[in-house]
Amino acid sequence: MENCGDACDREGTAAASSAPSGSEYRLFGRQSTIHQCMGGGLAADVLLWKRWRVSFGIIIVATAAWITFERSRLSFLSICSDVLLILIVLLFLRANYAVIRDKQLPELPELVLSEEMVNNAAASFRVKINSLLLMAHDITLGKDFRLFFKVVVCLWLLSVIGSFFSFFTLAYIGTVISITVPAMYNRHEEHVDKCFGILHRKFSRHYKIVDESFINRLPRSLSIKEKSM
């Protein structure tokens, strides 16, 4: 029995020979490198393990936090308050100890949010909130039954997933995936794109059949409008 990698290589080679060279499938339809798609800054370096010490530290901290939240049986607010209390007490004692010993503490950078940063974040947040409100408005008034159907299915899937895992477990899984998957994809980019290209073509064919036979037949609105006399 052939493994999945050999099947992907064989089908990918056949697809590449029958398709033009410029139409190769790339995950998420990107036109640049993964590092550039992620912003090309510190966050991209961490996610792609170019700064492996920071990436490894994030996994260690996330694992310790997950064990603490899941095993301690304490609430999120209690743990956060205790951690902040310990940090504040230690920093206060450290500063006073340095004064007593006539030692100069290293200068701490001022944590100030620039007006430009706040405006950009607010503008981006406003656009997303408005799109969600518009979607909720259409669903509430029954204007788009297809959208209502898709939202109900997504919320039901989230409810099923949430019944098996707690919020902290889901957050931990998401953190580990966001740290490990991009780096693995960056290392095996060509092979992954080839396999996902095959899956994308097969899924597109099946989705087109479902869309034409079921989703497109759903009415846009269930409201009955009386004809004017």
Query: pLDDT of the chain along its 229 residues, tens only?
Result: 445 555 555 544 444 444 434 446 676 666 777 777 777 777 778 888 888 888 899 899 889 888 888 877 777 788 788 889 999 999 888 888 888 887 777 776 666 777 888 888 888 889 889 988 888 887 777 777 777 888 888 888 888 888 888 888 888 888 888 888 888 888 887 788 788 778 878 887 777 776 666 666 655 555 444 444 4
DSSP state of 49: T
Residues in Cβ contact with 25 at an 8 Å cutoff, skipping those fewer than 6 apart? 193, 194, 196, 197, 200, 201
The reported pTM is: 0.56
* Three-class DSSP category at 38: coil
Contact 46, 55 (CB under 8 A): yes
Contact 30, 213 (CB under 8 A): no
CA 187 to chain centre: 20
Tokens of residue 52, six digits: 């492996």
